[in-house]
A and B are shown apart, each in its own frame.
Chain A
Amino acid sequence: MASGSSAAARRLLLLRHRRRHLVPNHHFSSSSADEVLDGGRVKIFDRDLKRRHRDRAAWAMRETDPLVDAVADNLLDRLEDCRKAFPSALCLGGSAGAVRRSLRGRGGIEKLTMMDMSVDMVNKWRELESATDDGPEMNFIVGDEEYLPMKENSQDLIMSCLGLHWTNDLPGAMIQCRLALKPDGLFLAAILGGETLKELRIACTIAQMEREGGISPRMSPLAQVRDAGNLLSRAGFALPGVDVDRYTVKYNSALELVEHLRAMAETNALFQRSHILKRDTALATAAIYQSMFGLEDGTIPATFQVIYMTGWKEHSSQQKPKRRGSATVSFGDIRKQFGSNQD
């Protein structure tokens, strides 16, 4: 979540190796201030920039990623808790590749559609898919979660693994998911929560205050746990469920952390981001991170908070509470009835 700092971190590495050549500045800036307002709606994230991040992640990502795989596996675990099978499933952006890897026949999926904003990412998935023959029938589309191109009542399951926290209109995206689901269809999502990368957030802020006398948004705002339940019910899902998991990943240096963020396409995509990161601010950030949070073995920990959300599309078969005072039989009568049967 710090695109500027990643470029600086790369420079830092080069400095260490005492090599002297110019590093291309990895800036992906296309936004202008007048794009922030789109039909009265506030845009927080630069979706075009995020798309390019995902293009980059398509080649930067590793074969397996322990953090992402753990999240995908945890998410898919929830399918085993349902007796229902989900013949048609849609998997939205984020770490859909990891979802595909960890699926292993769970959920009775027969047709799996994978969607992402990035053409490169989708092509990468398709390449990997052609290597394995078994598994569900696969389809690929390029699309945006904010403009879901899915017919109403067409899917049994919609999954999103670490992708929805980059949408400008999260409730809107979730409502579109609900509409695309068949009645009694399941919505499963994992998003990053507000505790994520708190160490980097603190180190960045202190370094900026120290060196520049002010701060700029280096990190994106993330949903809090208490918001997740509200989001589900606001989107109209029945039987909402939210739970939280926290993962701590150890890195050798701040540089490694930033490289990992890039490989996951989780770098800063705020519209109001600062396009410049001074070298000494980046160095200070790395130093502060190391001194404040560094562990005895020289590694630095980074926290990732993941919020898992489950919700169902309404269906008459789902359990609901009865209206208060609607009972017609008293518990006393029930006891009498069963008592007489036993005699």
Chain B
Amino acid sequence: RTMRRTTALLLRHGGGGIPQALADVLVCPLSKKPLRYCEASGSLVSDAVGMSFPIVDGIPCLLPKDGKLLEDHQRESGHETSSRDSSD
């Protein structure tokens, strides 16, 4: 269900997102759970691990090192707090 939501969002977003074919197959590299497209930050969000992955020039960067930990209020499941990183 989450995946379908991602797709719908991506379609609406148009050019800034990632191609439909990719949205269908990409998952979080750490948890293998679905990713959610966040329009505000233009990134892919993994709610399972609370990280966001950037999309640079239409290419999603799904390296764990490139991911940023989300701040508490942006997370759905709030444990493992970190003040070090934030998703702007």
Contact = CB atoms under 8 A, between A and B. Distances in A.
Given A142-B59, A142-B62, A150-B27, 13 more contacts: A88-B25, A113-B21, A126-B59, A141-B60, A142-B60, A143-B29, A143-B61, A144-B62, A144-B64, A147-B29, A149-B26, A152-B32, A154-B25
A155 interface: yes
A39 to B, nearest CB: 12
Interface string A295-334: 0000000000000000000000000000000000000000
B30 interface: yes
Interface in B1-59: 19, 21-22, 24-30, 32, 56-57, 59
Nearest to B54: A142
A141 B27 CA distance: 12
B interface SS class: mixed
Interface stretch (A117-125, A205-213, A246-254): A117-125
Nearest to B60: A141
A126 B63 CA distance: 19
A89 to B, nearest CB: 11
B64 A141 contact: no
A137 B25 CA distance: 15
A241 to B, nearest CB: 26
B65 interface: yes
Interface of B: 19, 21-22, 24-30, 32, 56-57, 59-66
Contacts of A137: 21
Interface hub of A123, A137, A151 (most chain B Cβ within 10 A): A151
In the A-B complex, list the 9 residue pairs whose CB atoms are closest, starting with the nearest: A147-B29, A149-B62, A149-B29, A142-B61, A154-B25, A143-B62, A151-B27, A151-B25, A139-B22
A293 interface: no
Contact of B19 (A139, A148, A152): A139
Interface string A104-128: 0000000101000101001100100
A74 B52 CA distance: 39
Contacts of A123: 57, 59
A104 B30 CA distance: 34
A126 B28 CA distance: 23
Interface of A: 48, 88, 111, 113, 117, 119, 122-123, 126, 137, 139-144, 147-152, 154-155, 179
Given A119-B56, A119-B59, A140-B59, A154 B24 contact: yes
A152 B33 CA distance: 10
Contact of B25 (A140, A144, A150): A150
Nearest to B34: A151
B60 A151 contact: no
A140 B32 CA distance: 19
A111 B19 CA distance: 12
B63 A147 contact: yes
A138 to B, nearest CB: 9
Contacts of A154: 24-25
B23 to A, nearest CB: 10
13 contacts: A113-B21, A117-B63, A119-B56, A126-B59, A141-B60, A142-B56, A142-B61, A142-B63, A143-B62, A149-B62, A151-B24, A151-B25, A151-B27
B29 A148 contact: yes
Contacts of A113: 21-22, 25
B26 A141 contact: yes
